[in-house]
Amino acid sequence: MSVYGVGTAGCPMAGYYGIKKAGKQSDNTGNTGQALETVQRSEMSGGAFELHISNEQDGEAISAACGRDYSVTVYKPKDFDPANPVYKAKIWDKDGNVTERMVDVSKVDPQNSDYIDMFAYSSHLSASGECPSAQSSFMSSATNQHGPDERNFKDLFQKNDWVSALADAMQTQYQAGNIEGYLDYKPFWDFLKEYK
């Protein structure tokens, strides 16, 4: 699981603790059912959030992230096929309502995709080893665009040019004289330019 996710053990110094949560879950067809899973709860300046982790129903969580009124987890389903990488993305709003989406990462356009698809794509690139720094570079460039606590639930579904966002983040680091920060983005930049 990525650095943006946490394991099942509680981390009291960081404010993390595990809870079992039952709730309603809906899929893209509108079906609703009960689900029970282990989640991690913590506090940010914007309020409480939960990181949802691996579970029997959804599969292995390869990455998770939270904002002030949402959390997102990307799962590798049990029937995952590396030749046809399709992941399950689950997005929770501040009230605990969940939306599911299957993301075929081979069809994600980094110049015209929403946060959810790009988060799944960059998580795949890091987890598969194709571009190990993709997920952290994406998250950093997305934070550069919105600020650490400024993205909200609605923003997750807005199409964006993430290649331009990455270029802006790189330029910010370069102008600040932070060559190391600039170079941290470069492997992902090179990967995106090669497969564009």
Q: How far apart are CA 73 and CA 92, in angstroms?
A: 9
Of 130, 160, 128, 157, give the one whose Cα is nearest residue 142: 160
Question: What pLDDT score does 148 carry?
Answer: 55
> Is residue 182 very low, low, confident or very high in pLDDT (cuts 50, 70, 90)?
very high
Single-letter code of the amino acid located at 99: T
Q: How far apart are CA 123 and CA 188, in angstroms?
A: 12
Crossing angle of helices 115-128 and 179-194, in 10° steps, is 90
Question: What pLDDT score does 79 carry?
Answer: 94
Residue 88 has pLDDT above 90, yes or no: yes
Estimate to the nearest angstrom the gap between the alpha carbon of 111 and the chain centroid: 17
Handedness of CA 53, 59, 63, 69 (dihedral sign): negative
Which distant-in-sequence residues (6+ apart) come within 8 Å of 120 by Cβ?
74, 87, 89, 103, 105, 108
Neighbouring CB atoms inside 10 A of 128's CB total 15
Which distant-in-sequence residues (6+ apart) come within 8 Å of 185 by Cβ?
137, 140, 141, 166, 169, 170, 173
Question: What pLDDT score does 50 carry?
Answer: 63
Domain spans, the chain:
12-194
Out of 135-149, 157-171, 180-194, pick the least confident: 135-149
Question: What pLDDT score does 54 carry?
Answer: 77
The stretch 100-111 carries a mean pLDDT of 96
Query: Over the chain, what is the mean pLDDT?
Result: 78
Strands 98-104 and 70-76: unpaired
> Is residue 149 very low, low, confident or very high in pLDDT (cuts 50, 70, 90)?
low
> Does the model's pTM come out above 0.85?
no
Q: How far apart are CA 25 and CA 177, in angstroms?
A: 47
Q: What is the pLDDT of residues 33-69, one digit of tens each?
A: 444 344 444 444 444 556 677 788 899 999 998 888 8
The stretch 78-84 carries a mean pLDDT of 95
Q: How far apart are CA 41 and CA 22, in angstroms?
A: 14
